[in-house]
């Protein structure tokens, strides 16, 4: 494919800097964009990005704050270091590979495996082999109490709307959890997600153009809706084919076209 065509096909993946102005999530997770994104540092106290070269470490300030909070909780409990996958592109929007959502800067992938050593190149390759699910059942070679605790910490965060995990993980939690189970409601089964879980925040207060997902149905989700995931119907299609290309709100066109403010001159901006 020639360069100009690539530019037309993937403008969101090619833009290298956030748009200026206030941070706003615009649209829905699979049809939207992010104005005024903030950057998550490649590493910080308690977290580490696994693939910084992908340049998908931008997010709404609410998402950056969530990562900081979760990393601090994990660190305080000596559970290891959070390993992070993708957040969003500098202006959110559709990605050319890997995700249908992650468009608003309110989604982040977090590995279920926690690091206890600095992540080397070999360690990173190994990370991609650590699956918590094996043939539809939990892989107890990899899964343990730290994974449950990590999901619980994330789900209890008030900014979190949903967490997507493999159905086998949800079923395991449904079967084994005792005591307070209210947080289980936010844990939602989805295709894949054997190595990482996907956190989606609720629309931040005041983000008037952010379209909320339908509320989670009542109950803990350990019911017939979960059982469906283990029927043949759930196998086709895998994952579901989304109808057509994303349809972005008109405001996203302006976010994409907006000029970046040079780093040292942000304070002079009159926007």
Three-state SS letters, 132-184: CEECCEECCCCCCHHHHHHHHHHHCCCCEEEEEECHHHHHHHHHHCCCCCHHH
Nearer to Zn ion, 218 or 239 (CB): 239
Nearer to Zn ion, 163 or 252 (CB): 163
> Judged by CB under 5 A, how many residues of this single chain contact Zn ion?
2
DSSP-assigned states of every residue in 30-62: TEEEEES-EEPPSEETTEEES-GGG---EE-HH
CA distances to 50, 164, 168, 171, 231 from 189, rounded to whole Å, are 24, 6, 8, 9, 13
DSSP-assigned states of every residue in 239-255: SPPPSSS----HHHHHH
Nearer to Zn ion, 131 or 261 (CB): 131
Nearer to Zn ion, 188 or 198 (CB): 198
Q: Is 200 in the site for Zn ion (CB under 5 A)?
A: no
**Minimum CB distance to Zn ion, residue 17 (Å):** 23
Interface with Zn ion (CB under 5 A), residue from 31, 73, 109, 258: 109
Interface with Zn ion (CB under 5 A), residue from 198, 210, 229, 252: 198
**Minimum CB distance to Zn ion, residue 196 (Å):** 7
Nearer to Zn ion, 107 or 220 (CB): 107
**Minimum CB distance to Zn ion, residue 122 (Å):** 24
Contact 50, 108 (CB under 8 A): no
Residue 253, token pair as written in the block:
């066109």
Nearer to Zn ion, 120 or 238 (CB): 238
- Among 36-44, 101-109, 218-226, 244-252, the segment contacting Zn ion (CB under 5 A): 101-109
Which parts of this chain interact with Zn ion (CB under 5 A)? 109, 198
């Amino acid at each position: 494919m020639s360069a100009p065509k690539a530019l037309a096909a993937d403008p969101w993946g090619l833009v290298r800097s956030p748009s200026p102005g206030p941070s706003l999530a615009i649209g829905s997770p699979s049809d939207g964009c992010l104005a005024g994104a903030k950057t998550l540092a490649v590493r910080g106290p308690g977290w580490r990005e696994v693939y910084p070269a992908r340049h998908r470490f931008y997010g709404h300030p609410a998402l950056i704050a969530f990562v900081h909070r979760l990393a601090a909780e994990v660190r305080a409990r000596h559970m290891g270091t959070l390993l992070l996958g993708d957040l969003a592109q500098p202006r959110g929007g559709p990605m050319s590979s890997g995700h249908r959502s992650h468009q608003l800067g309110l989604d982040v992938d977090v590995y279920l495996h926690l690091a206890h050593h600095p992540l080397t190149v070999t360690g990173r390759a190994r990370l991609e082999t650590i699956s918590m699910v094996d043939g539809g059942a939990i892989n107890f070679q990899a899964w343990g109490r730290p994974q449950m605790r990590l999901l619980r910490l994330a789900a209890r965060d008030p900014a979190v709307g949903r967490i997507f995990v493999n159905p086998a993980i949800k079923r395991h939690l449904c079967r084994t959890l005792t005591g307070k189970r209210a947080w289980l409601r936010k844990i939602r089964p989805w295709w894949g997600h054997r190595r990482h879980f996907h956190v989606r925040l609720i629309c931040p207060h005041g983000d008037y153009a952010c379209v909320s997902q339908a509320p989670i149905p009542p109950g803990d989700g350990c019911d017939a809706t979960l059982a469906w995931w283990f029927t043949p119907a759930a196998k086709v299609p895998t994952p579901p084919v989304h109808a057509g290309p994303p349809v972005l709100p008109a405001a996203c066109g302006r976010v994409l076209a907006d000029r970046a403010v040079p780093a040292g001159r942000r304070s002079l901006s009159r926007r």
